[in-house]
A and B are shown apart, each in its own frame.
Chain A
Amino acid sequence: QVKLQQSGAELVKPGASVKLSCKTSGYTFSTSYMSWFKQIPGQSIEWIGMIYAGDGGTGYNQKFKGKATLTVDTSSSTAYMDLSSLTTEDSAVYFCARRSHHWFAYWGQGTLVTVSS
C-alpha cells in the first residue's frame, strides 16, 4: 500500500534552515509528482509547490519562492523540502502529498516545525 512517512518534529532557531523529508513506498516514485503544504494550527492549508520525481522539475507558489526548495532522491524514494531563513511565521505543520491527476489521495502524517529562540 502507498505510504508517505515524514520526518519528526523540529525546533529551530530564527534565521536557521531545516530540511524535512517524506519517505515513500508502495508506488513508483520516479514517475510521480509530490506536493508540499503548510498549515498553521487553526488555519487553512497553503500549497507550497510541487516536484516531479522523474526529472526534478519544480513549480512553486510565488509566496514560497526563496523560502522553500524541493528536491528528491529517487534511489531512496524520498522527497525533501528545505526551508531557509526561518522566522516565527514559518512555524506550522508541513505535509507532503502525492498528486494523482488533480487531487491528493495520499498524504504524509505531517511534520511540526517550531521556530523559537
Chain B
Amino acid sequence: DIQMTQSPASLSASLEEIVTITCQASQDIGNWLSWYQQKPGKSPQLLIYGATSLADGVPSRFSGSRSGTQYSLKISRLQVEDIGIYYCLQAYSAPYTFGAGTKLELK
C-alpha cells in the first residue's frame, strides 16, 4: 500500500498568516493527489485535485503544489472559516490512502 506521511499533525496559526501542510508519498503517485478540509461532524470537502487544481467554489487563497513525491497545500491568508482538519488523499492506486490529518487551529 502507498503510505502518505502528512505533517504537521497540528498547527496553530494567526489570522492572515500563511499556512503550509505537506504530504510525502511513499512512491510515485503522479498528480493523483487531492486535499480535503473536514469540520467537526461534517463530511470532507474537496479543496484541491490533481495536486494543483482548485475545486469549484474554493477560495483562491488555497493552492496546491508538487515537488516529486512531496505535495503541499498552502493557505495564503488564514481566515476563521479555514479552521478544521486537513487530509491528503492518493487515488493513484488501490487501496486509496489518506494522510493522518493536520488539525489547524487559530492562535
Docked Cα-Cα span, A59 to B96, in Å, equals 11
Stretch at the interface among B10-18, B70-78, B86-94: B86-94
B contact residues around A105 at 8 Å (CB)? 46, 49, 55-56
Docked Cα-Cα span, A63 to B45, in Å, equals 25
Bits for A42-56, please: 1 = Cβ < 8 Å to B, else 0. Answer: 001111001000000
The B interface, classified by DSSP as helix, strand, loop or mixed, is loop
State which residues 94-109 of A face B: CB under 8 Å. Answer: 95, 97, 99-105, 107-109
- For chain A, give the interface size range: 20 to 34
CB–CB B87/A45 < 8 A: yes
Docked Cα-Cα span, A35 to B91, in Å, equals 11
Given contacts A45-B44, A95-B43, A109-B43, contact A103 B95 (CB under 8 A): no
State which residues 1-55 of A face B: CB under 8 Å. Answer: 35, 44-47, 50
CB–CB A103/B43 < 8 A: no
The residue in chain A whose Cβ has the minimal distance to the Cβ of B99 is A44
A62: Cβ under 8 A from any B Cβ = yes
A61: Cβ under 8 A from any B Cβ = yes
The A interface, classified by DSSP as helix, strand, loop or mixed, is strand
B23 to nearest A CB, angstroms? 12
CB–CB A103/B49 < 8 A: yes
Partner of B95, one of A44, A63, A109: A63
CB–CB B34/A47 < 8 A: no
**B residues apposed to A, CB below 8 Å:** 32, 34, 36, 42-46, 49-50, 55-56, 87, 89, 91-92, 94-101
Closest 9 CB pairs of A and B: A107-B43, A61-B95, A103-B49, A103-B34, A47-B96, A102-B91, A102-B32, A45-B98, A105-B46
Residue pairs across A and B with Cβ atoms less than 8 A apart, 23 shown, are A45-B44, A45-B89, A45-B98, A46-B98, A47-B97, A50-B94, A61-B95, A63-B95, A95-B43, A97-B44, A101-B49, A101-B50, A102-B32, A102-B49, A102-B91, A102-B92, A103-B34, A103-B50, A103-B89, A104-B89, A104-B91, A107-B44, A108-B43
